[in-house]
Amino acid sequence: MSAKRLSALLLTALMAASAAVSCGEDSPSEPVSNAVSSSDEAASGASSAETAASGEITYPVEGNPTVTYWCRLTSNASASVASMNDLPFTAELEERTGIDVEFIHPAQGTDKESFNLLVASGDLPDIVYYSWFNGYPGGPEAAFKNRVIEPINEHMAEWAPAYTAYLAENPEVAKMVQTDEGNYPGFPFIRGEEILWISWGPFVRADWLEQIGMEKPTTIDGWYEMLTAFKNECGATAPLTTWDKDFGIFNSGFLVGAWGMATDMYLNDDGEVVYGPAQPGFKDFLAEMQKWYAEGLIDPNFYANDRSAAETNLMNGFSGAIAASPGQGLGVFEKSLKEIDPSAGYTPLQWPTLNEGERPQFGQKDTYFNNFGLAAVTASSENKEAAYALLDYAYTEEGHMLYNFGTEGVSYTMEDGEPLYTEMITNPGEGMSMSQMLAQYTMPQDDFPFVQDGRYFMQYMQLDVQKEAIQLWQETDAEKHWLPPITPTEEESKEYGTIKTNLDAWRNEWCVGAVTGKNSIDEYETVFLPELESIGLERALEIQNAALERYNNR
Amino acid sequence: MKDSAAVSNKKRKTYQQLSYWGKVGRDIATNPVLYLMFLPVVLYYILFCYKPMYGALISFMDYVPGIPFWENEWIGFDNFVRFFNDRNFFRLFKNTLVISFSSIIFGFPAPIILALLLNELKSRTYSRVVQTISYMPHFISIVVICGLIRDFTMNTGVITQFLGIFGFPQVTMLGEPSYFVPLYVISGIWQEIGYGSIIYLAALTNVDQELYEAARIDGANKWKQTIHITFPSITPTIMTMLIMRLGNIMSIGYEKIMLLYNSQIYETSDVISTYVYRVGLLDMDFGYSTAIGLFNSVINLLILLLANKLSYKLTDTGLW
Amino acid sequence: MSKNRIKISIGERIFDVFNVVFLFALMVVCLYPMLYVLFASLSNGVQLMRHIGLLLRPAGFSLSAYEAVARNEMIPTGYVNTIFIVAVGTTVNIFMSALGAYFLARRDQTIGKAAMIFIVITMFFSGGMIPGYLNVRSLGLYNSIWALIFPVALNTFNMIILKTAFMGIPSSLEESAKLDGAGHLTVLFRIFLPLSKATIAVLVLYYGVSHWNSWFNAFMYIQDRALYPLQLVLREILIVNDTNSMLNVSVDVEQIADTIKYAVVIVATVPILVLYPFLQKYFVKGVMIGAVKG
């Protein structure tokens, strides 16, 4: 698959570039010399194969230990089982590692509250999988201080050789999953490849483009022309719609990115954190959007929309363009629209730029680790070594295949060196979906501590238009501009939280009014900016830049 | 209901000379069964309400789960100061009161009127059917209800179109700050009128029917009967409900507002609870959110005490 | 008593007609949300997405939402648990409320006012989620169905409503019973409760509905999924279908996510709706007179 090769290449290049970056003084002390690093294996995050094979941990481990494990029940698994204890995946994991796992799940949708209660009770299981970086007040360092969990630094080389090796080979990832003080809180969920980082992008009606005889537009002017034609020739009353209310239509730098900024905090070209709405050029963007809105190119209710409003607009042909996710957005809309009119359909567009031929600077792009979750071993655990061994297995080659593809011969087979899901997974019987089958044998659809494999993703996407979209949407330099997972200190994070809420509220209040024409663009300097300043923009940036500096020094 | 009537004159004299606790002791000695019956209630309040109440002290702490409760850092009134100093404090406070008072002024009488109207229906079957149907919206999740409200009040929505016949502008109502409070209040009445009327229907069953007979013989019409017989009979219930409703003045849930508002109408719709939700500190900063909760509770309690006093003055009924 | 009506003025006739018409309009307006939910739950997912304006019948017809809900194996267990909680919990509630209201309804207790304040304070000040949770653990109720009954054994608001009703009972009734040698328990259960049937019916409804709808305590106090009440099970179905998860790119289930939402409302609501018509027979006028005369 060319997509895979391309991303592997990109990743290799990326790693070569980052090889120069030091891991910092607290990096794993034991360099893993025998790790093999072919580009393919590195790309899939399984490069520590040799380490595991060299027998530092021999699975199954002896003594048949039992480990208790708190994590949320993934939504796809819950369709068929009440607990992960009942999954074939868990049975296989237990057999291979020789460790009995006892999963404890909070009720779905109550993760945060349940986590707080769990921690407050002081009665902790061996492993807790949670967003430790932003979910615990003060982050992992506070959790260490309060004796909730322990950094794994001391024992990781010995008890978690595969993960240690993985970090040694991926210094960029290692930087993300440690604290400013150089401590590793645990075992993270990592999206191993760039194609896994894409979850948002613009798409438009393909049949309408054909009808108006336009190529796919790439620039703002092209978009303007297209939306105007949608309105005049295709009968659209809200040509560009959205499912996010307030200013969400411009999320991820959609449209605004052409002017060289996002609507939120981002890194500028000098590597400083700045706030988009206060940047030069933002005013021009607002003026252009005011024009579009006045001409009826933007959904008149964009600031009050929700998913169902967007659905109504799209399915009735009131709208022909939106930026949304590839699954619940593009996938669902494409399939539904085809049921209404088989000749209709969507096509993804690249992130628009100001000038023809420019590479988009903004767009949605995630990274290896984005605070999704991290499995930490609790300070009170009496089975630490077994807990490490269980978690470390995910980063071995066998573990990597188990987590991503399941059991060979059951849920996947190897064809020409490529793992392919079996018929049982891809085409399950009545009433079951591929997601639900995957969730029984594998883990890649949900965040869980392992390295997600891009080869899963392309097989998982059911529609060609989705695959096309992912390829197109990743063509940006967004990674240069998005903030890395930086962590303000505990005190700062409260202060920052309040300022940021007020900044965003004011941005939504004033800027939406500017787009709808309620506020005059001329008041950008006289009303909008001074208010941002008085809310505390400067202080917010100071906190963010200090956190960024600590991050860069890791 | 005068237990003490059974007590002899001589004893009563001494009873009045007793100290407060002495009197209580005497009461218990006279009526042990009564106090034994009340014991489970007291136990319930102690075990499930008072025992964990120390948690309100979180307002004065920098509380972090995982640290034993009493070892958390005490920070005095910092959490409160932070809230009062917030630039939006005044707007949030004002909106909270405006929405709450409007809901009470228009929303509180609605179920009473419905109950009275139902009471006047000649057909019991019809009355039952109306009751059963009008209470249904209470059971439909707020998410669904708000979805309907948003849908119907869009510029192309059913309600907007309908009002257009009477010359109302065809705008998205939830984009106009001045429409928010009426929409919030009216939809609240729509959802709760039937469920809220049940308690008054129950109170109406206790009205002495002979009074009506007598009034009719005296030639009083329906309206006079309602004013002079029905209404006074259910006044204790109305006052009880009103006082307790007033004691909730600061407690506007965030959910419904979150589902209805957007940045264009923050100026009339943003309330304390939605702000706290947006700050995103509900889960992270227990001290701050508990402090705001405590602030609301104190105001609620003060208003309840005031309302109770007024109620005694005006109607001679109250909570105690 | 309507047959005894002496004269009906024109004004009253006009009022009666207006009343019937107005209440009919109100009924239509209040019925619509339920009908909407019912129609939406029976709709075809795509047709529903497309639908604009009033939904007056299912948009397309499909039972797939109900099939998806029924596939969840925890629903029968959820029903059983919830029915147990509603039945036992409401009984405990009524008993406790009656005991409390009986005491508070007496004006001659020295401690009456203090007791009322002791109780009202709890309506305003609570320890919050974490101390409440630790308390339930320390009482040994954690992960037991009783944790969904005892911590909510009494609702102050409801108890005050009952107290107000008790206070409306003429004291002559109690006094004559006392003369016949009745104790407090007899007075409460033989005189007060039967005379407050309508209010008790309201409380049964209030308590029953709140037990039926509650899920928050269950998530805090229950770990064993076999003890989950219905609402928690249904809430999970909603959450799972509603997560705008960035990770999820699956299409097949998402198309009917909306109709599932509505089917869940129907499954969760219809059984409890039946409670009210059943309780309506206690809303009979003139009970009091019969009691006094009898």
Say if residue A366's pLDDT is above 90.
no
Which phi and psi angles does B161 have, rounded to 5°?
Answer: -60, -45
Evaluate whether B271 touches B95 at the Cβ level (below 8 Å): yes
CATH 3.40.190.10-classified regions of chain A: 57-196+368-452, 201-364+482-552
A114: nearest CB among C45, C215, C219:
C219
- Per-domain boundaries in chain B: 87-315
Do A336 and C52 count as a contact with CB atoms less than 8 A apart? no
Say if residue C259's pLDDT is above 90.
no
Compute, in degrees rounded to 10, the torsion defined by CA atoms B152, B153, B155, B158. 30
Evaluate whether A320 touches A437 at the Cβ level (below 8 Å): no
Which phi and psi angles does B74 have, rounded to 5°?
Answer: -85, 130
Pair of tokens at residue A132:
């430790």
Q: Residue C54 has what pLDDT? A: 85
Do C12 and B222 count as a contact with CB atoms less than 8 A apart? yes
Name, in order, each residue with C-beta under 8 angstroms of B98's C-beta and a sequence gap of 6 or more.
Answer: B181, B268
Do B205 and C285 count as a contact with CB atoms less than 8 A apart? yes
Interface partners of chain A (CB pairs < 8 Å, 3 or more) are: B, C
Q: Is C239 on the interface with B (CB under 8 A)?
A: no
Burial B111-129 (b: 16+ CB within 10 A, else e): bbebbbbbbbbeeeeebbe
Q: Is A413 on the interface with B (CB under 8 A)?
A: no
Evaluate whether B15 touches B26 at the Cβ level (below 8 Å): yes
Instruction: Give SS3 for A152.
Output: coil
Q: Is B154 on the interface with A (CB under 8 A)?
A: yes
DSSP annotation string for chain C:
-GGG-----HHHHHHHHHHHHHHHHHHHHHHHHHHHHHHHHTS-HHHHHH--S---S-SS---HHHHHHHT-THHHHHHHHHHHHHHHHHHHHHHHHHHHHHHHT-S--TTHHHHHHHHHHHHH----HHHHHHHHHHTT-TTSGGGGTGGGS--HHHHHHHHHHHHTS-HHHHHHHHHTT--HHHIIIIIIHHHTHHHHHHHHHHHHHHHHH--HHHHHH---GGG--HHHHHHHHHHHHH---SS----TTGGGHHHHHHHHHHHHHHHHHTHHHHHGGG--TTHHHHHHH-
The better pLDDT of the pair A433, B260 is held by B260
Residue pLDDT, tens place only, A403-414:
999 999 999 999
C127: nearest CB among B53, B148, B247:
B53
ipTM of the complex: 0.88
Task: Report how far residue C253's alpha carbon sits from residue A335's, in angstroms, rounded to the nearest whole number.
Answer: 12
Pair of tokens at residue C161:
């409503």
C14, C16, C48, C99: which to substitute to probe chain B, counting the most B Cβ within 10 Å?
C99
B2, B20, B33, B49: which to substitute to probe chain C, counting the most C Cβ within 10 Å?
B49
C 255-284 → B contacts, CB under 8 A: 261-262, 265, 269, 272-273, 276-277, 280, 283-284
- CA A253 to the chain's CA centroid: 16
Say if residue A376's pLDDT is above 70.
yes
Residue C244 Cα, gap to closest chain B Cα (Å): 16
Q: Is B91 on the interface with A (CB under 8 A)?
A: no
Residue A50 Cα, gap to closest chain C Cα (Å): 30
Name, in order, each residue with C-beta under 8 angstroms of C159's C-beta and a sequence gap of 6 or more.
Answer: B41, C96, C97, C100, C101, C104, C119
Q: Residue C242 has what pLDDT? A: 59
Residue pLDDT, tens place only, A404-448:
999 999 999 999 889 999 988 888 876 677 888 888 999 888 889
Please tell me the pTM assigned to this model.
0.86
Q: Residue A489 has what pLDDT? A: 83
B54: nearest CB among C22, C131, C284:
C131
Q: Is C56 on the interface with B (CB under 8 A)?
A: no
Do C164 and B190 count as a contact with CB atoms less than 8 A apart? no
| Most confidently modeled range among A329-338, B100-109, C253-262 | B100-109
A24: confidence class by pLDDT, cuts 50, 70, 90 = very low
Instruction: Give SS3 for A451.
Output: strand
Query: How far is CA B316 from each of CA B1, B232, B308, B320, rounded to the nearest angstrom?
Result: 18, 12, 10, 11
Q: Residue B182 has what pLDDT? A: 95
DSSP state of A33: T
Query: How far is CA A366 from each of CA A172, A264, A408, rounded to the nearest angstrom?
Result: 14, 15, 30
Say if residue A12's pLDDT is above 60.
no
Task: Report how far residue A174's alpha carbon sits from residue A373's, in angstroms, rounded to the nearest whole number.
Answer: 15
Give A188's strand partners: A374
Contacts of C50 in chain A (CB under 8 A): 311-312, 315-316, 340
Task: Report how far residue A22's alpha carbon sits from residue A183's, in angstroms, rounded to the nearest whole number.
Answer: 15
Mean of pLDDT values over B22-48:
91
Evaluate whether A475 touches A523 at the Cβ level (below 8 Å): no
Mean of pLDDT values over B216-229:
84
Residue pLDDT, tens place only, B203-217:
998 888 888 888 888
Minimal CA–CA distance to B202: which of B228, B239, B237, B242? B237
With vertex at residue B277, the alpha carbon angle to CA B274 and CA B282, rounded to the nearest 5 degrees, is 145
State the Rg of chain B over Cα: 25
A336: nearest CB among C49, C67, C133:
C49
Evaluate whether A289 touches A255 at the Cβ level (below 8 Å): yes
Q: Which CATH superfamily is domain B87-315 in?
A: MetI-like (1.10.3720.10)
- Per-domain boundaries in chain C: 2-63, 72-242
Say if residue B96's pLDDT is above 50.
yes
Evaluate whether A290 touches A521 at the Cβ level (below 8 Å): yes
Q: Residue A429 has what pLDDT? A: 74
Mean of pLDDT values over C246-274:
75
B 33-62 → C contacts, CB under 8 A: 33-35, 37-38, 40-42, 44-45, 47-56, 58
Evaluate whether C170 touches C292 at the Cβ level (below 8 Å): yes
Size (chain B), residues: 320
A117: nearest CB among C67, C133, C248:
C133
Say if residue A17's pLDDT is above 50.
no
Could you please state the CATH topology (level 3) that the domain comprising A201-364+482-552 is classified under.
D-Maltodextrin-Binding Protein; domain 2 (3.40.190)
Residue B90 Cα, gap to closest chain C Cα (Å): 23
Say if residue C31's pLDDT is above 90.
yes
Residue pLDDT, tens place only, B56-84:
898 998 888 888 888 888 999 988 998 89
Instruction: Give SS3 for A433.
Output: coil
Q: Residue A445 has what pLDDT? A: 83
Evaluate whether A118 touches A70 at the Cβ level (below 8 Å): yes
pLDDT exceeding 90 applies to what percent of chain A? 59
Burial A288-297 (b: 16+ CB within 10 A, else e): bbbebbeebb
Q: Which CATH superfamily is domain A57-196+368-452 in?
A: Periplasmic binding protein-like II (3.40.190.10)
Residue A123 Cα, gap to closest chain B Cα (Å): 10
Task: Report how far residue C165's alpha carbon sits from residue C197's, in angstroms, rounded to the nearest whole number.
Answer: 10
Task: Report how far residue C211's alpha carbon sits from residue C89's, in angstroms, rounded to the nearest whole number.
Answer: 7
CATH number of C72-242: 1.10.3720.10
- CA A123 to the chain's CA centroid: 31
C235: nearest CB among A109, A446, A461:
A109
Say if residue A101's pLDDT is above 90.
yes
HSE of C39, CA atoms in CB hemisphere, 13 A: 16
Contacts of A142 in chain B (CB under 8 A): 64
Q: Residue A450 has what pLDDT? A: 93
Evaluate whether C250 touches A436 at the Cβ level (below 8 Å): no
Q: Using CB atoms within 10 Å of the CB of residue A423, give its burial: 0 to 12 exposed, 13 to 18 middle, 19+ buried.
A: exposed
Do B263 and A508 count as a contact with CB atoms less than 8 A apart? yes
Say if residue C24's pLDDT is above 60.
yes
Contacts of A143 in chain B (CB under 8 A): 66
A511: confidence class by pLDDT, cuts 50, 70, 90 = very high
Interchain CB contacts (distance < 8 Å): B and C: 255
Q: What is the identity of the amino acid at A377?
A: V
Residue A84 Cα, gap to closest chain B Cα (Å): 26
Q: Is A146 on the interface with B (CB under 8 A)?
A: yes
Do B263 and A247 count as a contact with CB atoms less than 8 A apart? yes
Interface partners of chain B (CB pairs < 8 Å, 3 or more) are: A, C
A3: confidence class by pLDDT, cuts 50, 70, 90 = very low
Q: Is C181 on the interface with B (CB under 8 A)?
A: no
Q: Is B244 on the interface with C (CB under 8 A)?
A: yes
Q: What is the identity of the amino acid at A550?
A: R
Evaluate whether B250 touches B96 at the Cβ level (below 8 Å): yes
Do C118 and B304 count as a contact with CB atoms less than 8 A apart? no
Residue A436 Cα, gap to closest chain C Cα (Å): 10
Residue pLDDT, tens place only, C268-286:
888 888 888 888 888 876 5
Mean of pLDDT values over B143-148:
88
Instruction: Give SS3 for A511.
Output: helix
Q: Is A533 on the interface with B (CB under 8 A)?
A: no
Q: Using CB atoms within 10 Å of the CB of residue A34, give its burial: 0 to 12 exposed, 13 to 18 middle, 19+ buried.
A: exposed
Q: Using CB atoms within 10 Å of the CB of residue A329, give its burial: 0 to 12 exposed, 13 to 18 middle, 19+ buried.
A: buried
B1: nearest CB among C108, C157, C269:
C108
Residue pLDDT, tens place only, A309-330:
899 999 999 999 999 988 888 9
Residue pLDDT, tens place only, A352-364:
999 998 999 999 9
The mean of the pLDDT values for chain A is 86
Do A335 and C73 count as a contact with CB atoms less than 8 A apart? no
Do A462 and C232 count as a contact with CB atoms less than 8 A apart? no
Query: How far is CA A127 from each of CA A88, A111, A182, rounded to the nearest angstrom?
Result: 21, 15, 21
DSSP state of B2: -
Minimal CA–CA distance to A222: which of A237, A232, A209, A211? A209
A462: confidence class by pLDDT, cuts 50, 70, 90 = confident
B238: confidence class by pLDDT, cuts 50, 70, 90 = very high
Give A420's strand partners: A413
Q: Is B85 on the interface with C (CB under 8 A)?
A: no
Mean of pLDDT values over C127-154:
92
Do A494 and B88 count as a contact with CB atoms less than 8 A apart? no
Contacts of A116 in chain C (CB under 8 A): 129-130
Q: Residue C286 has what pLDDT? A: 55
A433: nearest CB among C51, C240, C252:
C252
Separate counts of helices (H) and strands (E) for chain B: 17, 2
Task: Report how far residue B47's alpha carbon sits from residue B56's, in angstroms, rounded to the nearest whole number.
Answer: 16
Q: Using CB atoms within 10 Å of the CB of residue A58, give its burial: 0 to 12 exposed, 13 to 18 middle, 19+ buried.
A: exposed
Evaluate whether B175 touches B264 at the Cβ level (below 8 Å): yes
Residue A461 Cα, gap to closest chain B Cα (Å): 31
Minimal CA–CA distance to B283: which of A115, C101, A281, C7? A115
Residue C177 Cα, gap to closest chain B Cα (Å): 11
